[in-house]
Structure 1
Amino acid sequence: MFHKAYAFDIDDNLLHTNCTVFVEKWDGSKMQRCEIPESELKAKLKEGRTYPKNDPEECYYNMRLGGGKLTQDLFDALDAKAYGPSWERFKLANLQASPIGIITARGHPIEDLRSAHQALLHEAFTLEEREQFLEKMKLRLGEHRASSDHLIRDFFDMNYYAACANKDYSDSLQIPFDTPSSKKKVYAFDKFIEHIVALNQHGKINPHQKALKIGFSDDSLENLSAVEEAIQNTFVLSYPEITFALYNTNNPRFVKKTLYASAQNKEPEF
């Protein structure tokens, strides 16, 4: 038996959202601002379009708004039944009260990532599913008389939220804001691992001291390649007691799962 934790990307992984960014192009007389799907950004930049005012923050304006913008995007996708390839695994992780990381290329305030996750638990799950979650939290914490509010607060305190296009988050990692998103996701996953290890050492998530398994799920091949390299060259060596799983959701019809473990953790089932 193992204790599991999962890190999830949002867009086109949990849900297929209508996520847009801004670029500029020269129309012959002046720079013209255009709104495009975020998935097209890299190609448009290669074609010669630029960040508005040469400022990446202006590009990701929609993706860093506070005030519930992320929550609205998620519920718009749910209303459209635009489920991503990791949605069911995300639901299962919540129902099992497993520690969860949200590692997104978006730049919303970190508190908005947490509140959006809270909204999903309260409104996108059935009453029976929420009751199942609460029972799992009681078992995990060994607090069978704890109130629902206490259990929910503890669950969200043990999760980790990373918005890679958020300047404050980049500053917290002490890396330049214009660091490529794929590298930021590696830093964020590293911090998620550290977070889980610390919780485990303090007995806050794993009372029976089961072996740890930590997964990372993303649809971007660039992000997956960067994280895979970090797992193979760094994380497996730094944390030989942990088994890692990489979930490649680039092809939503076929989610590819790859396991990585040190010699002492061979042939795991994740």
Structure 2
Amino acid sequence: MTKGPNKGQLELGIQRAPEKDRNHHLGGRSFYFFDFDDNIAFLSTPLILFHKTTGQELRVGSGEYAKVHPLIGQSGPYLDYEIRLDDETGTYRNFRDRHIDEVQKLEGKKQIFVEDLAEALGFPDFQWKGPSWQCFYHATFNRRPISVITARGHHPETLREGIQLFVNKQFLPHEPNYLSLFPVNHKPTRHILGDVNLTMSAAELKQKAIRASVEKALEIYGPSAHHRFGMSDDDPKNIQLIAEEMTRLKTDYPEMSFFLIATHDGNFVKHEITKQGAESKVGEGSLANQLKLFDVDRHKS
């Protein structure tokens, strides 16, 4: 990436007034759930594949990894490579927290997520903003309850520290109104989600995190037939299992509305979830559609 002038988002906030939640007068709220990587923002954090024989390392970006994951060790250019699961030396080591002692903290050393996000924000906006950035900004600006549900394995406070950089660098006007933070490969978080044996996949853990976030929303804001929930993710496998979990949630809470936003390959395609699944395609692509994430009554089926 080529560095250049960096311009924040606060000038947009100056020109717009906060919007009341469309169903607030009916007791309903709109809840926004976001994956982070390649969805809110593009970071350069690499995943590491290992040659089966030599152990030689191959760095792969998160977007490419999501596409080629089924091929690793199976066919094509990734036939001779494998995934290794050790948190300190393996494939996902850059997506986990590292030990930083007190001296290093005093010297300003940060977790990898914070460092990589700080580096990304030094580039022009269009190079790091993901397909759901405008939706994330809109939800934050209007203080909608937000959950970040990511396959990363950092401590939740590491996510919060990184996202605070958006505020410090004036890309966001204030910290998000967090409903929950679920880095689902963080081991204590996995335990919270019921994966005590550490056997669930990231996609399965995201299902658990979505349900936990919905239940927390009902606990904090109370039940309402006018609540709306939307989740955006870029990974096709995650999207499939998110649709399955939201279909179950729709069956459990038929009066509430659930939406799935698929952002793989940089797209922004929205679906409303019915009891039969993600059947209602309700828009794609434009900023206007992002800002009208839940404004789809005309398309209900």
| TM-score, L = length of structure 1 | 0.76
5+ residue gaps, structure 1: 131-151, 203-208
Question: Alpha-carbon deviation of 1:173?
Answer: 1.4
Amino acid at match of 2:129: Y
Alignment of 1:1-270 (within 5 A): 1-2=22-23, 3-27=29-53, 30-38=54-62, 39-40=64-65, 42=69, 43-46=71-74, 47-52=79-84, 55=86, 58-65=90-97, 67-80=110-123, 81=125, 82-125=128-171, 129-130=173-174, 156=177, 158-175=178-195, 176-201=197-222, 211-232=226-247, 234-252=248-266, 254-261=267-274, 269-270=295-296
Does structure 1 conserve the Cα–Cα contact (< 8 Å) formed by 2:51 and 2:82?
Answer: yes
What corresponds to 1:146 in structure 2?
Answer: none
For 1:178 and 1:56, the matched residues in 2 are separated by: 15
Question: Alpha-carbon deviation of 1:262?
Answer: 6.5
What corresponds to 1:140 in structure 2?
Answer: none
Aligned length: 231
Higher helix residue share: 1
Q: Deviations over 1:35-66 (max 9, x none)?
A: 332333623343242334x5366321111125
Helix, strand or coil at the partner of 1:159: strand
Identity %, equivalent residues: 23
Aligned-residue RMSD, C-alpha: 2.7
Amino acid at match of 1:44: I
Does structure 1 conserve the Cα–Cα contact (< 8 Å) formed by 2:83 and 2:91?
Answer: yes
For 1:26 and 1:210, the matched residues in 2 are separated by: 53
Does structure 1 conserve the Cα–Cα contact (< 8 Å) formed by 2:182 and 2:209?
Answer: yes
For 2:237 and 2:37, the matched residues in 1 are separated by: 15
| TM-score, L = length of structure 2 | 0.68
For 1:109 and 1:83, the matched residues in 2 are separated by: 23
5+ residue gaps, structure 2: 1-21, 24-28, 99-109, 283-293, 297-301
Helix, strand or coil at the partner of 2:264: coil
Does structure 2 conserve the Cα–Cα contact (< 8 Å) formed by 1:216 and 1:247?
Answer: yes
